[in-house]
Structures are given as C-alpha cells and as structure tokens.
Structure 1
C-alpha cells in the first residue's frame, strides 16, 4: 500500500470527526507530516484496502476552506 516514498500504513489514517457512528459516511485522511511529504490521502474507512484518493495539499486546503465558507452543497441522491 505504498504511494511514492511513503507507506500509508506507517503514516496512518485519521477518521473524520464528522463521520457517522453507524458507518454510513466514514472518511479517513492521511496528512503529510514530519519528514513525510507528498499528497494528502483520502479513503472510505469501511474499505481500508480499497481505492485511495491522493490530492495536492493546496487543493485540499482550498476544498476544506470552501466547505467552511458554505460554498459547497451536497448533491441530490
């Protein structure tokens, strides 16, 4: 489960504080830190061995700031 020079099992994922306790909408992120550099990784915590999305830190910052400002809405199901 390696991405570039970092092993995501070592970096570790953190579950979002907004994730559902029933497991319906669980998201985990792994942020670069310390000597680790590179993209921010996002995955579905219900599928830890499934696909992982890797995005540039600046894109992640822009995304989270837009969320905080209320600029993004949930898509209709």
Structure 2
C-alpha cells in the first residue's frame, strides 16, 4: 500500500523539547483521512515514514505515557 503524506501538518508531543532531540512526529490529518498513522523521526523529516494502524498508534502512546 502506497500513501503520499503531505510535508506540512506533522505534530510532535507537547512534552517534546524545542531542540528536536529524541522525538517522533505523526500526521493527524493523514490519520483522519486514511485510518493509517504516519510516524517519522523529527531529526530526519525527509527520511522514511513508518505507517501503523490507529490501534497500534494508540497502544504506542498509551505505553509511552505509562513509562
């Protein structure tokens, strides 16, 4: 499955530091439109994008919050 993701509209956690350190970004508009959540490394915006299901992304966020 091929998905083209817009270059603008990426978001990172509100807990991320402004220096762009160890952070992943996701694209909520793409997720809403296609049901697939694109995730990328904030330090490499032109790099590869990981596509995961909404449920996998929800589980990832939940696990991250729990530590």
- Does residue 1:47 correspond to 2:40, yes or no? no
8 A contact 1:43–1:51 mirrored in 2: yes
Which 5+ residue runs of structure 1 have no aligned equivalent?
Answer: 73-77
Q: Deviation above 4 Å: which 4+ runs of structure 1?
A: none
CA RMSD of aligned residues (A): 2.2
- Higher RCO by CA contacts (8 Å cutoff, separation 6 or greater): 2
Offset, 1:48: 0.9
Range that drifts further, 48-57 or 6-15: 6-15
How many residue pairs get aligned? The number is 65
8 A contact 1:16–1:29 mirrored in 2: no
Higher Cα Rg: structure 1 or 2? 1
